[in-house]
Amino acid sequence: MASKPNENTVAQATFAPFRLAWRLLSATVLLWFVSCVIQIAYIHWRHVDPVTHIQDQLEYYTGDSPSHGLAVQMGTVTFEHLIERWKLHRWKPNESVTAAGETSVAPMIKRGIWASFQAEIETTMYNTVLFAAKLGVALGLIPLYLTWLFAFGMDGLAQRYIRRACGGYESASIYHRAKLYGTRLLPPFAAVVFMCSPIPISALLIFGPAALFSALLVRLQATYYKKYL
């Protein structure tokens, strides 16, 4: 007796893009939060000026990155829409107004918050711009990553065809382990290291080996895919 089709197949296919978008957005926000925490901890540990520290990183990523234009554009758009439009830089109290002895409640609260959390506020503001620039660098390397996956995946499928013709065995264990490490663990780990690093680090140094090992694992995954579909 033929099995009944899954009634939720259409619903799952319809909402799959929304689930993917939500997961990507959640992962991006989580990465941003972790990167801010790491930057704040690094600044307190090294006792460096947050603005100068992050500006040096911005110059590095927008100057020598493989995707220079995209990094500059994303950083500029983030600065304009987040800091300038919302006037976050005005959290810093005006020294002339402070010296004049303004006594209204709101500026006094703002000055108190700024005096207590100046380094944290500046780090969070400018690290958001840095995060956007880093994201632009990472997005610019996606074509390289996909090219390697496609090339090694095609080679793996060719090896699978040879294995089928020669009566070779299939290994579900190798297939699933290669799938786990190659597509679900290694790329996110490389993204976390690059996006959350508090010091300038080359994107190719992180994503190059990650893409190579992911491609090798995809080749292994394709090689030991099911012999009969």
- Say what the pLDDT of residue 1 is: 44
Residue 100 confidence (pLDDT):
47
The reported pLDDT for the residue numbered 150 is: 93
The pLDDT, as a whole number, for residue 38 is 95
What is the pTM for the complete model shown? 0.81
Q: Which pLDDT value is given to residue 225?
A: 77
Give pLDDT, residue 167: 65
- What is the DSSP track for the chain? -PPPPPTTHHHHHHHHHHHHHHHHHHHHHHHHHHHHHHHHHHHHHHT--HHHHHHHHHHHHHHS-TTHHHHHHHHHHHIIIIIITTTGGGGSPPHHHHHTT---HHHHHHHHHHHHHHHHHHHHHHHHHHHHHHHHHHHHTHHHHHHHHHHHHHHHHHHHHHHHHTT----HHHHHHHHIIIIIIHHHHHHHHHHH-SS---HHHHHHHHHHHHHHHHHHHHHTS-S--
**Confidence (pLDDT) at 113:** 74
pLDDT at residue number 51? 87
User: Which residues of the chain are modeled with pLDDT < 50?
Assistant: 1-2, 96-100, 229
pLDDT of residue 94: 57
